[in-house]
Amino acid sequence: MEINFKNKRVLITGSSRGIGFAIARGFLEEGARVVLSSRNQNDLDNLKEMYCKEHSSDQLSAFSCDFTSSENVNKLKNSILGIWDGLDIVVANVGSGRSLSDPVPKEDNFEKVFSGNFDVAVHTARVFYPLLKEAQGNLLFIASVAGMEALGAPVDYSVAKTAVIAFSKNLARKAAVDGIRVNCIAPGNIFFEGGSWDKKILEAPEQIKQLIDTTVPMQRFGQPEEIVDAVLFLCSERASFITGSVLKVDGGQTTGIF
């Protein structure tokens, strides 16, 4: 199946590492023009230099942004408009799993985790909606299976991801009239070097192995590239009649959960 993103203008939030990093590479390999974004400009500059060894410098831009601030997100939009006329695709990937295991997390931590996962999604959608409307484009949220069922993940993180999923589905219904498709991907346990699972394995390898063997039917971690394939499909013309969907990519962890 051929998926062509030649010259499509794509913003990927939180693209300096992990899933976002892999998504950026996937779009670049398919010919898209990509904006990298995260909080740290030095990390982005290093990534841009690395990517430019494989792709044209005209294909890639990088801007730092704190997505918890709507003012910052508006500045990012203006920076993008300074190099392109608009955007065709926005992948809202920013999120944080740093949370507490308390049954009812402390108020300040709950608000911080909720803002770092839900508010960033809303800011992104609100600011870039007009550009996507003009382009008849795509908005894709990266959530988590922890937002679909009580799997034992921290309460604050799970609730925030549930809110992202609800937001994406409700927005999809409203945005369809403007020609915008809105979808969501809910990854399961994704391993990458330096990620949260990498750290957990170093701390308790046997416990984590048992967890994966007993809760994931495929008995393995997913790879960022497996999320990328789902992202590329949902943002492509091959998925032209798909909006409001939540695609689980979790090795069967939530099989039977609706």
- Give the residue numbers marked as catalytic: 157
| SS3 category, 248 | strand
Per DSSP, helices labelled H in the chain are 18-29, 41-51, 70-83, 107-114, 120-135, 155-175, 196-203, 205-215, 224-234
Distance CA 97, CA 188 (A): 13
Question: Which are the contacts of 251, defined by CB distance < 8 A and separation ≥ 6?
Answer: 188, 189, 216, 217, 218, 219, 220, 221, 222
Nearest to 242 by CA among 169, 150, 147, 152: 169
| SS3 category, 249 | strand
- Are 11 and 50 a contacting pair, CB within 8 Å? no
Three-state secondary structure readout of 113-171: HHHHHHHHHHHHHHHHHHHHHHHCCEEEEECCHHHCCCCCCCHHHHHHHHHHHHHHHHH
- The two structure tokens encoding residue 81: 């408009």
